[in-house]
Structure 1
Amino acid sequence: MNLSIKNISKSYGKISALKGVSMHCSKGEIIGLLGRNGAGKTTLFKILFGLVQADSGQLEFEHSKHKTLGGIIEKPGLYGYLNAHENLKVFSRMQGLKLSEQEIELSLQRVGLPIDRCDQVQHYSMGMKQRLGIAIALLNHPSYLVLDEPFSGLDPIGIKAISSLILDLVAKDKIGVLIASHLVDQLSAISDRIYVINDGEIIKSGETQQLIRDHSQLYTLYAPNIGESQCLKKYGAKLFPSKAILQLDTPKIIEVLQELQEENITITSCVPEVDFEKLFDIKV
């Protein structure tokens, strides 16, 4: 059974935090929940974990001998004065587990953390704390991993490392992953599908690449001799020896690529940039 969220609504007094939110995630799939801060992402995840009671709607997921959900909401809730081994021991006992030292080391290795580091986790970088939080979330082998803003506070190297970790977990363990973020570039890089939430409501959803194509107007084209193109000049493109940057409506890009082919220019890569304002239907 998929993890299904059906028509979830939640209000705090006169403020509607969620308005009939529906989405689903299958095992082996990465689902992105894209929205600005305050859009309702964290509230939805708290409802998933039973930390907040929904006013209406329902959640459906399979119940196995292991736990169904593991995750991080807002930020890893670690014991800063303990080391990584000790944190895993504490959280495993909370879940009724008694991990051996070997199992703890395997848990650390699984998320790319050193097994010989003994200092307090309060000295860890944000990326290492995220990794340890994920190791704790994976205790008891959950079917689904839920991550709330896992890229926040990370530098580009840290973002790439966490993204690679998530992709590796899905490939090896076939778990489903639900990620909430306000960073469209990071979500689009690893998600199979994306739901866009704005003011507590899902306003768009679809397969990631199609959603990007539908909301892109700026394209970077790469080719060894693209700087020699004549057709790109009429589109007002910025030309460089091996790349060109141009802005145009999505359907037009197919015509441009055909014209380049007629010029014997072989495009090696066409990278669209999502128009964030267009994605949220905001007029500026």
Structure 2
Amino acid sequence: MISGRNISKSYGKLQALQNVSIACNSGEICGLVGANGAGKSTLFKILLGLVSADSGTITLQGEGAKKIGGIIEKPSLYPYLSARENLRVFAKMQNAAADNKAIDEALLQVGLSLDREDPSRNYSMGMKQRLGIAVALLNKPSCLLLDEPFSGLDPVGIQALKKLIVSLAKDYGMAILISSHIVEVLSTLCSKLFVIHNGEILQQGPTQAILSKCVKSYTLCGNDLQKVSFLKKYSAAPHANCITIPASATEISGIIFKLSEQGIAITSCTPRLDVAQLFKATAV
């Protein structure tokens, strides 16, 4: 649904992007991960048509008046207007339907209340993100770009926004491309990952295949783990009912099996990512 091929962009002597290629299919959630200044926002601005690339091609597929919508860095809203008023203003700008029924549908699509009439400046960051997404979805685009949508959100807000993103991809078949420096969030949300560093794509492919190379330890949670004698040889670091163990995927599977033989039930097993390894690995 969205594809960028060999995109390059320079600002004077600064090479912001160099031969970047990226693509996301209908119903797919793709992640673009990189540190601040890696080129994520520049790439998104080019894909949205806000900035011109020096070279490269962009292909957008889909029906309707608007093929792509997005949020760059943070939602651009009129803080003195309510959610309903913001949507009506932006709808008129885009020649989209602005009647009460259309606005109600836009609010419900992102899980916002139909009754709230106070200014959007009173909204939480999570609600502002939802309203920004509602604006981006006006005129029913086939592709959605979200630049750092989880910044400033608490864990509850992150989970709520993840649920909304999944529903948009599943229920509407949207191609959704998300940029973030929070790798842990993208790891549970995106089926495909692009790793960008200094304006170049270092890696791309299935998310778990890329991240598995960056896992050096696992955190196991369960009762009485600190009392298990054989775990001591792994230099396990205990905390509460959990233990972090330096181990490979194969080793951790064997450890869990051995614990089950001793009657120890594991309630969770979480890989711990060494994010720095993402930017050292060679391209896939």
Structure 2-normalised TM-score? 0.91
- Once the two structures are superposed, residues 101-139 of structure 1 have per-residue CA deviations (whole angstroms, 9 ceiling, x without a partner) of 122112112111111111221222221111111001111
Q: Is the 8 A contact 2:64 2:141 kept in 1?
A: no
Counterpart in the other structure of 1:271: 270
CA distance in 1, matches of 2:240, 2:261: 19
- Once the two structures are superposed, residues 201-253 of structure 1 have per-residue CA deviations (whole angstroms, 9 ceiling, x without a partner) of 11122222222221011211234454443332211113578532111345543
Give 1:263 deviation, angstroms.
4.6
CA distance in 2, matches of 1:140, 1:88: 12
SS at match of 1:221: strand
Q: Is the 8 A contact 1:76 1:133 kept in 2?
A: yes
Alignment of 1:135-214 (within 5 A): 135-214=134-213
Alignment of 1:17-166 (within 5 A): 17-166=16-165
CA, structure 1 residues 63+172, in 2 after alignment: closer, same or farther (shift >3 Å)?
closer
SS at match of 2:187: helix
Q: Is the 8 A contact 2:64 2:139 kept in 1?
A: no
Give 1:29 deviation, angstroms.
0.9
Q: Is the 8 A contact 1:74 1:148 kept in 2?
A: yes
RMSD over aligned CA atoms reads 2.1
- Once the two structures are superposed, residues 21-43 of structure 1 have per-residue CA deviations (whole angstroms, 9 ceiling, x without a partner) of 11210111111111111110000
Q: Is the 8 A contact 1:231 1:259 kept in 2?
A: no
SS at match of 1:88: helix
Counterpart in the other structure of 1:216: 215
CA distance in 2, matches of 1:99, 1:136: 12
CA distance in 2, matches of 1:119, 1:261: 54
Q: Which amino acid aligns with 1:188?
A: S
Structure 1-normalised TM-score? 0.91
CA, structure 1 residues 42+241, in 2 after alignment: closer, same or farther (shift >3 Å)?
closer
SS at match of 2:162: helix
- Once the two structures are superposed, residues 60-94 of structure 1 have per-residue CA deviations (whole angstroms, 9 ceiling, x without a partner) of 22142342111111111111222211111111111
CA distance in 2, matches of 1:27, 1:62: 9
Counterpart in the other structure of 2:246: 247
Counterpart in the other structure of 2:233: 234
CA, structure 1 residues 211+261, in 2 after alignment: closer, same or farther (shift >3 Å)?
farther
SS at match of 2:156: helix
Give 1:186 deviation, angstroms.
1.4
Uncovered stretches (5+) of structure 2, i.e. residues with no partner: none
Q: Which amino acid aligns with 1:200?
A: G
Uncovered stretches (5+) of structure 1, i.e. residues with no partner: none
Q: Is the 8 A contact 1:33 1:196 kept in 2?
A: yes
CA distance in 2, matches of 1:184, 1:12: 28
